[in-house]
Structure 1
């Protein structure tokens, strides 16, 4: 066991020396203030346009705007269904006198996780995971590692555990930076703010039978758990690609294309039943918490969790099989 811990420590040191985490922190410290400023300006513009800072007036205006869009004959049916559910949710919030977007650092963290779970967070994870094996093959350092009297599967497992540790660290850094930076503008209160969850979509209609209130900290905890699961799955698939493809930039290209393809398929392949089995289509797990209409018909929380689990397990099995059987030093 001590030998394995030493392997993990050595792998973590390699990742640290490559400054990958520093790159992630730099990206976040540049982009988060931009996102905070954009949200602040949006709130400021809304207040100026409506002449009041009453959230009820703003929400009523959003409902009116959405209903006007629904009256358009050019609106695609898929968008019509999504907007219809959105209006019903907004009306439910209004009727129960609950502000769904009360300004505050916790609200910003919640929104950042919900919006970033599909692409932004997976990209941060990919920066670490895609290079963890292929980088050593390109440098030739994998030869030195494999000449040691240690089983190959144990070497690869230490790399995978290291990847999981850094994935968790990335999620922690995201949360801390989002909270600290956004709190400067919006304040740090709002953890106990009530959030509605339990919305269910049945036959393209909103079912509010199971809707209940939970404090925002609990909602964020659940959203973070789902984001961590998505990050682990994306990290595992990236890990497999790192084993299969020797060139790190090529591996990044493959993974980036796969992630972007999910968004494209969600918008343009609603009639293709097989699209729902692609992992990148199932990454929006937080939509099930907030009661958003699924990207494709047939998707549910259970299906998406199972689909992503199968992808992760299959990727891990392929990675271990290839690493232990093939000549990784060539």
Structure 2
């Protein structure tokens, strides 16, 4: 009987030989400098418009601009709720003397992770996990694998373990490259800059009772932990689709459609309360750390984690149930 670790090593090498992970790294190396330049230009443009390098004056100007939008009859009520939250958050930063946008490589890495968790990083995970089983079913190599003296659940568990490894490497590589590349423009300091967490956001406003400051390296670790959790949910789904659908292209299309639908729902279905039960709407778990308005009223970090956990568990259960009982010989 073949042991579990040799199976994991075999599946890890399969993914490595396909060079999917290196494609992801190459994409990050190409795109992150573009994002860095875009943020640098945005910061320069905002600095010129404000006419000062004092972050307090810039924050006050933002508050004034947001308040003007709030009273405008042309701004939708959903946007007004978000703007009110931003005004309260900026006022809290001003009261406690903490610059919410101090530029540094660490800040960029954190903000990149916050913005990438909803769609970009899940797409990178999909690239790795979408063909773990479907490609072997299409090529017929799954028959050779399952005729060996090893239980089917071990085969699928080894694929899931290899997928977990590459998801972790993807998240770490994204953060490391974001810090290394953006640091050339913004500097490599800022690890111990205080960041405010604990904002409780609701339709009524922002509750600052539990707000406290943590050092930015701690905030970055919390952010990456939530990003990893969201990506692992997508990984479990991609593995299930790979088991259910024999065509890799079809599987990738299904998952891509689901992820894009989540972005659309988050922006357009804020009044549909039941949309919060879709996993796609709950992927941006990092937004709760940043004190942002949830896409649908009533959503909280524990709620989103519960929805993602349930989605991942159901996906894993379906994957193992189908894979262990399928007749691969026919």
TM-score by length of 1: 0.97
Which segment drifts farther, 226-235 or 46-55? 46-55
Q: Could you tell me which residue of structure 1 aligns to residue 204 of structure 2?
A: 204
Q: Is this contact kept in 1: 2:202–2:298, CA < 8 A?
A: no
Matches within 5 A, 1:100-115: 100-115=100-115
Q: Is this contact kept in 2: 1:125–1:231, CA < 8 A?
A: yes
Return the alpha-carbon distance in structure 2 between the equivalents of residues 311 and 97 of structure 1: 41
* Segments ≥4 residues shifted beyond 4 Å: none
Q: What's the offset of the Cα at 1:180?
A: 0.6
Return the alpha-carbon distance in structure 1 between the equivalents of residues 37 and 328 of structure 2: 47
Unaligned runs of 5+ in 2: none
CA displacement 1:160-186 (0-9 Å, x = unmatched) = 000001100111111110111011111
Which segment drifts farther, 266-275 or 307-316? 266-275
Return the alpha-carbon distance in structure 1 between the equivalents of residues 225 and 300 of structure 2: 17
Which segment drifts farther, 163-172 or 68-77? 68-77
Q: Could you tell me which residue of structure 1 aligns to residue 142 of structure 2?
A: 142
Q: Is this contact kept in 2: 1:142–1:329, CA < 8 A?
A: no
| SS of residue in 2 equivalent to 1:75 | coil
Return the alpha-carbon distance in structure 1 between the equivalents of residues 108 and 228 of structure 2: 18
Alpha-carbon RMSD: 1.3
Matches within 5 A, 1:172-183: 172-183=172-183
Return the alpha-carbon distance in structure 2 between the equivalents of residues 58 and 2 of structure 1: 63
CA displacement 1:213-253 (0-9 Å, x = unmatched) = 11001111111111111111110011100101111111111
Q: Could you tell me which residue of structure 2 aligns to residue 56 of structure 1?
A: 56
Q: Could you tell me which residue of structure 2 aligns to residue 15 of structure 1?
A: 15
Q: Could you tell me which residue of structure 2 aligns to residue 44 of structure 1?
A: 44
Matches within 5 A, 1:247-262: 247-262=247-262
Q: Could you tell me which residue of structure 2 aligns to residue 133 of structure 1?
A: 133
Number of equivalenced pairs: 330
Q: What's the offset of the Cα at 1:270?
A: 2.3
Q: What's the offset of the Cα at 1:293?
A: 1.1
Which segment drifts farther, 2-11 or 179-188? 2-11
Return the alpha-carbon distance in structure 2 between the equivalents of residues 20 and 73 of structure 1: 49
Q: What's the offset of the Cα at 1:125?
A: 0.7
Return the alpha-carbon distance in structure 2 between the equivalents of residues 248 and 57 of structure 1: 53
